[in-house]
Amino acid sequence: MTTSTMRGVLFDVDGTLVDTNYLHTIAWWQAFRRFGHDAPMAEIHRAVGMGGDKLIGHLLGTDRDASRDGELESTHAALYSSYWPSIRRFEGAEELLRRCAGNGLRVVLASSSSEQEVTVMREIIDAEDVIAGATSSTDAENSKPSPDILRSALDAAGLLAENAVFVGDSVWDVLAAKELGIPTIAVLSGGTSEAELRDAGAVEVYADVAELLASFDGSELHRLGEGRE
């Protein structure tokens, strides 16, 4: 099968395949406090899904010492790593990836987390034999809502945007995919409402990946796989 005919699905990881969004929220809140910033957890949570650099600017604005943003990101990463042993995959995550692969779709993890975090999450998801490619923060110059990480994910699997679907949990996921013309299937497991996800442009919304798996035959994923040549 040539690049022009291969079809695939890009998966966001945090909040979509693994239950980490609120752990990120707490780690960011603690990091902000250490640097003298009092950002409400509700606002932090709504920004999770952006790249760390964008999240800091989004929450703290321009009236800050931006020279310390790198330290702030590193502090968040260190705090978040303490939660790694307790991270779990969502029910149905492994099975959904396997179902997609069985339906003729290339499976790609489109994450902008660090390489070490992606390695940890891949072990937790436990579907390594069906993952055709994965990205990390080193694969994109600009973080979400920029579409750079999705471009890298497409390249990693030899896919064209018109032959792909993205599965994500945040408004930032939907906006990034929209820039490339990739339809997004959204899940509510990251804590963003259905109304917000649909307003951003999600073509389908499910409670979580388990519901998407149960509804697979009527979903965009099944239609994409059926359209393969």
pLDDT of residue 112: 87
Q: By the 8 A CB rule, do 120 and 20 touch?
A: no
Q: Taking the complete model, does pTM exceed 0.85, yes or no? A: yes
Instruction: Judge whether residue 2 has pLDDT over 70.
Output: no
- Distance CA(100)–CA(107), nearest Å, equals 7
The fraction of the chain above a pLDDT of 90, given in percent, is 85
pLDDT of residue 55: 94
Convert the pLDDT of each residue in 96-146 to its tens digit.
999 999 999 999 999 988 999 999 999 999 999 999 999 998 898 888 889
Could you tell me which of 14, 2, 38, 5 has the C-alpha nearest to residue 135?
14
Provide the terminal-to-terminal Cα distance of the chain, rounded to the nearest Å. 8
pLDDT of residue 3: 55
Instruction: Judge whether residue 170 has pLDDT over 90.
Output: yes
List domains and CATH numbers for the chain. Answer: 8-19+88-226 (3.40.50.1000), 21-85 (1.10.150)
Instruction: Judge whether residue 1 has pLDDT over 80.
Output: no
Convert the pLDDT of each residue in 67-93 to its tens digit.
999 999 999 999 999 999 999 999 999
- Distance CA(55)–CA(73), nearest Å, equals 10
The arithmetic mean of pLDDT across residues 153-173, rounded, is: 96
pLDDT of residue 216: 98
Phi, psi at 2, each rounded to 5° = -85, 165
pLDDT of residue 63: 84
